[in-house]
């Protein structure tokens, strides 16, 4: 989402006195990760509207330790601490130590990781640019590609099952995240190299060919 669109949402939220909650888990993997994701924190009144959530599982590679941050105004932070007191007093010590080490001493490693994911993202984007088998990229974010399958008359879960059993390709159906079936698949780019991206395109092409999909 472009920064100016985030600003517009913040202005809308402020006018209606509601919170704008930003899930910024993947902000480190933006194309221009050195620049702020948005200018909201430069506005002195940001605390009246903005709540920023961040998880360190991706950019510090410490999944499952449930370590993250909440950036918000003091009143909301007090309420968050009340909730945490009833749910989990604190994250596991190992995760806390890993987060501190990553934030204070792993700058170069983090930059290399961001560049690595950018390459993998580019390989996936290039491999699917010509809509192999009719499968089309709808969005290509920090860690995941949202791909629209070309079968309007088939439930997405059925398409996922066919890709797995007949084409050795594992994806997650968009229906796991969306309120209805929008023909979406979610693909992770985190472990895809150039050869795997090319193989993915071949398998999607074959899946489309078997189903009679004709692509230009």
pTM of the model: 0.82
Q: Which residue has the tokens 């517009």?
A: 8
Express each pLDDT in 8-66 by its tens digit: 999 999 999 999 999 998 888 887 777 888 999 999 999 999 999 998 888 888 888 88
Mean pLDDT of the chain: 91
Lookup: tokens for 155: 């439930």
Express each pLDDT in 99-117 by its tens digit: 999 999 998 998 898 899 9
pLDDT at 81 over 90: no
Query: Is the Cβ–Cβ distance between 155 and 181 less than 8 Å?
Result: yes
Query: Can you give the pLDDT at residue 161?
Result: 97
Q: Which residues pair with 173 in a beta bridge?
A: 185
Residue 192's nearest CA partner among 204, 200, 184 is 200
- The H or E element containing residue 130 is none
The CATH 3.90.1150.10 portion of the chain extends over: 112-210
Q: What CATH code would you report for 112-210?
A: 3.90.1150.10
CATH fold of the domain at 3-105: 3.40.640
Express each pLDDT in 153-202 by its tens digit: 999 999 999 999 999 999 999 999 999 999 999 999 988 999 999 999 99
What gap in Å lies between CA 11 and CA 212, rounded to an integer? Answer: 48
pLDDT at 216 over 60: no
Lookup: tokens for 150: 């070309």
SS3 77: helix
Q: How many Cβ atoms sit within 10 Å of the Cβ of residue 87?
A: 7
The CATH 3.40.640.10 portion of the chain extends over: 3-105
Residue 215: pLDDT band with limits 50, 70, 90: low
């Amino acid at each position: 989402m472009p920064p100016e669109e985030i600003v517009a949402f913040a202005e809308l939220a402020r006018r209606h006195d509601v919170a704008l909650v930003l899930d910024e888990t993947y902000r480190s993997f933006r194309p221009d990760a050195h620049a702020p994701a948005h200018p909201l924190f430069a506005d002195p009144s940001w605390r009246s509207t903005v709540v920023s959530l961040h998880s360190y599982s991706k950019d510090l590679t410490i999944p499952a330790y449930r370590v993250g941050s909440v950036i918000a105004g003091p009143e909301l932070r007090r309420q968050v601490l009340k909730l945490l007191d009833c749910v989990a007093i604190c994250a596991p010590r190992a995760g806390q130590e890993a987060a501190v080490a990553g934030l204070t001493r792993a700058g170069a490693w983090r930059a290399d990781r961001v560049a690595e994911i950018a390459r993998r993202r580019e390989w996936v984007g290039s491999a699917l640019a010509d809509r192999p088998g009719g499968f089309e990229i709808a969005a290509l974010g920090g860690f995941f590609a949202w791909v629209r399958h070309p079968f309007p008359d088939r439930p997405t879960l059925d398409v996922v099952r066919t890709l797995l059993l007949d084409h050795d390709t594992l994806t997650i159906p968009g229906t796991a995240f969306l309120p209805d079936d929008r023909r979406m698949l979610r693909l992770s780019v985190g472990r895809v190299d150039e050869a795997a991206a090319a193989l993915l395109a071949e398998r999607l092409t074959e899946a489309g060919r078997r189903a009679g999909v004709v692509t230009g």
